[in-house]
Amino acid sequence: MLVVIKKGYEEMSKEAARVISEIVREKPTAALGLATGSTPLGVYRELIRMHKEEGLDFSKITTFNLDEYLGLPPSHPQSYHYFMYENLFNHINVNERFVHIPSGMVDVNEIHRIHKYCDWYEDRIGEVGGIDLQLLGIGKNGHIGFNEPGSSLGALTRIKTLTENTRADNSRFFDNDIRKVPKYAITMGIGTIMNARLVLLIASGKTKAGAIKKTVEGPITAQVPASMVQMHRKAILIVDEEAGSKLDVHYERIVTDLN
């Protein structure tokens, strides 16, 4: 596992975008696993700049998003489909045929249909040869995607019931009304994430410092789902100084090999 500590959010974002751009340049047909939330926004801004100013070509890449709320149509401003197009896809030359975002319109009451859809999503990842790079954020409790504490460490794409804490955290995007936050989501499982050839986890701010410490230096446990990246054959964590402030080991502001 490699750890990179950058001075601030912008430096962290640019370093993460650089890692992604190297994958895209080396393998123009790469499959990228993408994340939503506030943390990746700077990464996406930098990738857009690279596309417009440096000619970074996304025309042949395939994308797979980590998750999506169930019950929100793609046009809903808080759907992750809407997020990805607003913050990245509308600004680069991605081919829509190669974009995959879990559907939020699968009927939560039709369990068999949901299972078939999740199997299809996994099959599609397999058909393109697997994910080359999976971008991740991290929750305050160490969750990745919608894999909450206690999630199976080997699970694949599936439906998840969101915890009250997660719904409360996300209510800021829904007029601070937890009643508007969906109760269910489709998410890649930790097993799916671990199958990616490279895992790139980013974090910013003091509120993520505890989760980063447990992820990097704590035991591997289902109570901190992100801790599983310790087992990944090629994981890179890029954090700013605030997010890395609780780490016991002294990390220089360069790539540091923990293992």
Positions marked active-site? 67, 141, 143, 148
What's the token pair of residue 161? 């019931």
Contact at 8 Å (CB) between 24 and 88? no
Burial class (CB in 10 A: 0-12, 13-18, 19+), 249: exposed
Amino acid (one-letter) located at 251: Y
Contact at 8 Å (CB) between 141 and 231? no
DSSP 168-181: HHHGGGTTT-GGGS
> Which residues contact residue 117 at a Cβ distance below 8 angstroms, ignoring those fewer than 6 apart?
102, 103, 106, 186
End-to-end CA distance of the chain: 6
Q: What is the Cα–Cα distance from 147 to 154, expressed in whole angstroms?
A: 11
What's the token pair of residue 187? 């998410």
Contact at 8 Å (CB) between 131 and 196? yes
Contact at 8 Å (CB) between 20 and 246? no
Q: Which residue has the tokens 């068999």?
A: 112
